[in-house]
């Protein structure tokens, strides 16, 4: 496998839009960012790829461990820093005040 030509991303996944909790959003992900060599099957009309690494996602507890792993494997990578959430306090009683 030639993984040295692929670009990888290190990021924290966003929280699910269906839930209000932040579960599984504190870990760091290392995933392949290239989606090259796509083809469409003429028989089944499925989209496929000859690059089996495009679905590769590794999870790490810290950013430093993800960077250390990528550097030890000589991978080209970019780090996407997470944006801080702005928490707006809401109160039910505010609906009845002018």
pLDDT interval class at 3 (50, 70, 90): very low
Query: Does 18 have pLDDT greater than 90?
Result: no
Q: Which domains does the chain have, with CATH numbers?
A: 1-12+27-84 (3.30.160)
Burial (Cβ within 10 Å: 0-12, 13-18, ≥19) of residue 61: exposed
Q: Check residues 85 and 27 and name the one with the higher pLDDT.
A: 27
Instruction: Flag whether pLDDT at 2 surpasses 60.
Output: no
Nearest 10 degrees: CA dihedral of 46, 51, 55, 57? Answer: 180
* More confident site: 78 or 88: 78
- How far apart CA 29 and CA 63 sit, in angstroms, is 9
In sign, the C-alpha dihedral spanning 62, 57, 35, 67 is: positive
Give the pLDDT confidence of 42-82 residue by residue, as tens digits: 788 787 777 666 677 899 999 999 999 999 999 899 999 98
């Amino acid at each position: 496998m030639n993984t040295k030509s692929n670009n990888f991303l290190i990021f924290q996944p966003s929280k699910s839009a269906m839930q209000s909790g932040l579960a599984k959003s504190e870990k760091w992900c290392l995933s392949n960012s290239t989606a090259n060599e796509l083809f469409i099957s003429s028989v089944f009309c499925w989209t496929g790829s000859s690059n089996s690494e495009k679905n590769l996602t590794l999870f790490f507890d810290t950013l430093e461990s993800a960077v250390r792993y990528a550097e030890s494997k000589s991978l080209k990578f970019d780090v996407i820093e997470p944006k801080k959430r702005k928490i707006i306090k809401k109160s039910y009683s505010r609906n009845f005040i002018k």
